Structure 1
Amino acid sequence: MTKDEAPRPGLPAGRRAVLLAAAAIWPAGRALAQASDNVVKLGVLDDMSGPFADQQGMGDVVAARMAIEDFGGRVLGSPIELVFGDLQNRPDIGMGIARRWYDQERVDAIFGIGNSAVALAVQQLTREKNRINVSVAAGTTELTGRACSPNGVHWTYDNYALARGTVSAMIGEGRRRWYFITSDYAFGHSLEANGIEAVRALGGEVVGTTRAPLNETDFSTYLLRAAQSGANVLGLAVAGTDLINAVKQMGEFGLIRRGIQPAALLCLLTNVKAIGLETAQGLVFTEAYYWDRDEGSRAFAARFARLHGRPPTMFQASMWGAVTHYLKAVQAAGTDAAPAVMAKMREMPIDDFTTRGGRIREDGRVIRDMLLMRAKRPAESRGEWDLLEVVKTIPGDQAFRPAAESECPALRPA
């Protein structure tokens, strides 16, 4: 019995007995609702200085802070604290930060983890430490496949959903001969594999592939091979500044004029801005959020822009949603202990401006609608960030790999 629960001196014996009996039957979760160390501590671990910093970076930190402020800054009567770190797209650095956060700084949950190789490593560490990780910006499907974890959530998208949506659109336009340029690390490999699977499943043909190192600046050799391959679609399994450089150089080398359509398997608002609509117009890709989609999206974007100077990418908007859902689950669980919070996160529906009617599947995959996007022509743009149009909505049960095809042990029949 704690000091606050001790019966007051002078109470009649019968009254003391009633109070003790009531305490014994009161639900434990409510009687003991509290945060460990009297604080709930969150970490944002992302690319803060490399090729993905523009689409993750401090924008993710801004969105996480917004979520904490919107929640009131406290949960279970305890303050919510936020730390952030630069994973530098290196598993050793990302793991070092995550281990320090868990072992020394008592971080309860890590968000973002915007590099697939780092995300896979951190998810395994998180499982060992019995904390929670929410991968907002990583793409590899292994996070909810063979490497799935009861402590891990894959929040925004994955490479299956990106590839399936974009490939379907291109093949629907009669573009069936594909060549892939791929970033040579876990994210690129996964995106390429999912893209090739989708092309073949939909009756297309893969006429060649080539891999480029992360942070490549000169894509001329890869583009020459694509031009000579006979492809009419160039599948770009690259991201960030690599994507920007590849699409710009496609325009410079005349591939687009020759009828080779770029298909970005991961593209974001900031990438299109950097490429410019003159070159990017017509570029097709799949996303989870667009700032100008509806009133809720626009309202959040306006708030975010006042703090960060521009509308959010899908990762930055999703960070708000992920942190908010986690805090709601902590409140509902009455504790920040990982098993109880994860149970509530899976039990509670996700319904906000980024995710309508979403849910967390047993393998950790968030099932949500995805959006097929197309970059506007310059004449269609009404302002600096009016760059994209929503072509169609892809229902969540069609966007992501079916549970029956998952390699996650949590989804296998007993």
Structure 2
Amino acid sequence: MKTVRTTHVAASAVCACLVASSAHADPNKVVIGDIDDMSGVYADIIGPGGVEAAKMAIADFGGSVLGNKVEFLVSDHQNKPDLGSEKFREWADRDGVTMVLGGSNTGVSIAMSAIAREKKTPFFAIGAAGASLTGKDCTPYTVHYAYDTTALGNGTATTILKHGGKSWFFLTADYAFGTQLQDAAADVVTAGGGKVIGAVRAPLATSDFSSYVLQAQSSGAEVLGLANAGGDFTNSLKTANQFGVTRKMKPAALLAFLTDIHGLGLETAQGLYLTTGWYWDLNDKTRAFAKRFFEKTKREPTMTQAAYYSATLTYLNAVKAARTTNPDKVMAELHKAKIDDMFTPSGTIRRDGLMEHEMYIMQVKTPATSKRPWDYYKLIETMPGDRAFGKLSDSKCPLVKE
């Protein structure tokens, strides 16, 4: 598993022993790590684009804090919880990492969150959706930043119910993320007077969705709830289109990203409702960031790539305010922070670690209404943070009760 170290935006070839020595010798040294899927089914969601976004944030901050250059580490967890947690522990013990960005995959982020608690290292879970990260799996050092399964269910499932989709069949990713996403959407469906007809689980990175789609078709349900993401989402929706299932069942994109819609094309994705925490064409601030990101990557940023930028800046500002990398003092500053940037105008980090902010219900445009490349979403509704994520008083995080 390859690790890349950079100082500010340039690569560094310092040997591991000297790095470890300098990291531990200076308590004000800031080392940010990024553990994500860099080559698999979720790589387009954050991946190398997230690395670029985090480097942009470090550069915009000035490249240094507390008198030291900010260092940046990158590792590919390959969607394996053991690899993610081992790398986190290694960086904490050897490299003096002071904050870790966790990319896509809920199972990996849950494993890394446990290391964050053990090593007392701030951990920003961004690509992972599982709401348990600020519920039963919460820690004093975990921040869940961009979105979660609760918000996705409250947005997309509620919207489809309003449009008559009462009976649901779920095609679900067979690990923690898929389970939590299906459960969140199913709760919204049943509370809204609908019913769940059935569900089928598909392994991560499934190559052939034919049998799963045919099971959904035979259920007689009105809605096909796709409780998956990334390549699994696009491949399952393509298969449903090829088999004509989407002419009889309304597909529900419970977690879809801009890159997914780009890959599918508007002919296939048009009309889909989805919930997102950010969109590049939402306002002047989002467009300004997107323009800079596009110049570097030739792609518009996803919600989670934008969140990588925001989270990196939020952490660096907390370190500056605390005047130390001491994790407890930095976390105290994070909980006091009012986040007003290109990602959100109204973000706050709650006691359970959730970064509460507005969420947006979007509908994918038709080819006729899209005016230019990447012009894919039409805003349907803006959800206040407490309606999207639920109230803090309802959190299942033990820290809230203390």
Q: Which TM-score band (shorter chain)?
A: over 0.9
Q: TM-score, normalised by structure 1?
A: 0.90
Is 1:98 aligned to 2:94, yes or no? no
Aligned residue number for residue 11 of structure 2 = none
Cα distance 1:383–1:347, how it changes in 2: closer, same or farther (>3 A)?
same
1:253 to 243, 250, 254: 243
Q: Distance in 2 between matches of 1:410 and 1:126?
A: 15
Q: Distance in 2 between matches of 1:193 and 1:383?
A: 37
Name the aligned partner's letter for residue 268 of structure 2: T
**Cα offset, 1:348, TM superposition:** 1.2
Aligned residue number for residue 86 of structure 1 = 76
Q: Is the 8 A contact 2:230 2:260 kept in 1?
A: yes
Q: Distance in 1 between matches of 2:147 and 2:377?
A: 19
Is 1:290 aligned to 2:279, yes or no? yes
Q: Is the 8 A contact 1:135 1:154 kept in 2?
A: yes
Matches within 5 A, 1:50-61: 50-61=40-51
Matches within 5 A, 1:302-313: 302-313=291-302
Matches within 5 A, 1:10-409: 36-258=26-248, 260-409=249-398
Query: Could you report, residue by residue, the CA deviation over 1:3-30 in whole angstroms, capped at 9, with x for unpaired residues?
Result: xxxxxxxxxxxxxxxxxxxxxxxxxxxx
Q: Is the 8 A contact 2:100 2:123 kept in 1?
A: yes
Q: Distance in 1 between matches of 2:201 and 2:58?
A: 40
Query: Could you report, residue by residue, the CA deviation over 1:246-279 in whole angstroms, capped at 9, with x for unpaired residues?
Result: 1111111111222x11111110000001111101
Q: Distance in 1 between matches of 2:392 and 2:193?
A: 23
Q: Distance in 2 between matches of 1:336 and 1:39?
A: 7
Q: Distance in 2 between matches of 1:88 and 1:74?
A: 30
**Cα offset, 1:367, TM superposition:** 0.6
Q: Distance in 1 between matches of 2:233 and 2:381?
A: 23
Q: Is the 8 A contact 2:314 2:339 kept in 1?
A: yes
**Cα offset, 1:405, TM superposition:** 2.2
**Cα offset, 1:402, TM superposition:** 2.1
Q: Is the 8 A contact 1:286 1:370 kept in 2?
A: yes
**Cα offset, 1:38, TM superposition:** 4.5
Q: CA RMSD in A?
A: 1.1
Q: Is the 8 A contact 2:156 2:252 kept in 1?
A: yes
Name the aligned partner's letter for residue 312 of structure 2: V
Q: TM-score, normalised by structure 2?
A: 0.92
**Structure with the greater alpha carbon radius of gyration:** 1
Name the aligned partner's letter for residue 193 of structure 2: G
**Cα offset, 1:114, TM superposition:** 1.7
Name the aligned partner's letter for residue 128 of structure 1: E
Q: Is the 8 A contact 1:237 1:265 kept in 2?
A: yes
Query: Could you report, residue by residue, the CA deviation over 1:123-162 in whole angstroms, capped at 9, with x for unpaired residues?
Result: 1111111111000111111111111111110000000101
Q: Distance in 1 between matches of 2:280 and 2:92?
A: 34
SS at match of 1:104: helix
Name the aligned partner's letter for residue 246 of structure 2: I
Q: Is the 8 A contact 1:36 1:336 kept in 2?
A: no
Q: Is the 8 A contact 2:125 2:144 kept in 1?
A: yes
SS at match of 2:294: helix
Q: Distance in 1 between matches of 2:54 and 2:279?
A: 18
Query: Could you report, residue by residue, the CA deviation over 1:360-381 in whole angstroms, capped at 9, with x for unpaired residues?
Result: 0100001100010111101111
Name the aligned partner's letter for residue 82 of structure 1: F
- Count residues in correspondence: 378
**Cα offset, 1:37, TM superposition:** 4.1
Unmatched 5+ residue regions in structure 1? Answer: 1-34
**Cα offset, 1:234, TM superposition:** 0.6
Name the aligned partner's letter for residue 322 of structure 1: A
Q: Is the 8 A contact 2:29 2:325 kept in 1?
A: no
Q: Distance in 2 between matches of 1:167 and 1:114?
A: 22
Percent same amino acid among aligned pairs?
44
